[in-house]
Amino acid sequence: MTDTLPREKLPRHIAMIMDGNGRWAQERGLERIEGHVRGTEVVRRIVEECCRLGIGQLTLYSFSSENWKRPRQEVDFLMSLLKQFLIDERPEIMRQNIRFRIIGRREDLSDEVVQEINETERQSSTNAGLTLALAVNYGSRAEITDAVRAISERVQRGELSPNDIDESTISNSLYTAGMPDPDLLIRTAGEMRVSNYLLWQISYAELWVTPIHWPDFTNEVLHSALRDYASRERRFGGLKTPTA
């Protein structure tokens, strides 16, 4: 059982790519949007379980910058679903002491969605439990591009010397500034790629892929990922210390 794992062996930060909503629905003869509805229910359950386990941060790939290419009806539904999620879950976010964050470019989102994002972030800003970060209109290459642009502007203003730019300068210029890097990246639906997600931040994350589609992702599947993570030896490029 996961509860028997020492707390120090649980990841501090879990990132998830929630894949397979549409395929789950199509396999059941349903509209793709039904998979997204079911997927939102799974988000609620997994967030609650991460709170119970004492996980420090959960970051969910909710809507990528590439997802705008999907049919307009599906995109509109996803934006409506996000807005309603923010409204409906705000009391629960406060009850569970969750700090809510959004990472990604907000300028392409509707004013209504941004308003609900800002309000949820504002109300939860002093909460000290799980940090729940949703990656919305997010793409890692765009994030790094924005960081480079911001650093260049600092150099141009004379606030920063090019010789002083280091990894921390870049990290502190990303959307995730101030957040710990993910320890564990979970992807559902069996795809063996990271899909432009947290490319800088997952440099040393452990990867765990399951063929299960996101709407069928359960607490038990999460526990399996955590047990596997706890059994791994993380060397961060170093060598195992030899034993006598």
> Which of 3, 19, 166, 219 is the catalytic position?
19
* CA atoms within a 13 Å half-sphere pointing along the CA-CB vector of 5: 19
Rg, Å, the chain Cα set: 19
CA dist 209 and 219 (Å) reads 15
CA dist 48 and 120 (Å) reads 17
Quickly count: other Cβ atoms within 10 Å of residue 61's Cβ.
24
CB 69 within 8 A of CB 61: no
Give the rounded distance of the alpha carbon of 230 from its chain centre.
20
Quickly count: other Cβ atoms within 10 Å of residue 137's Cβ.
22
Based on the residue annotation, tell me whether 3 is a catalytic residue of this protein.
no
Tokens describing residue 172: 């502190």
> Which of 67, 127, 196, 219 is the catalytic position?
67
Based on the residue annotation, tell me whether 67 is a catalytic residue of this protein.
yes
Catalytic residues: 19, 67
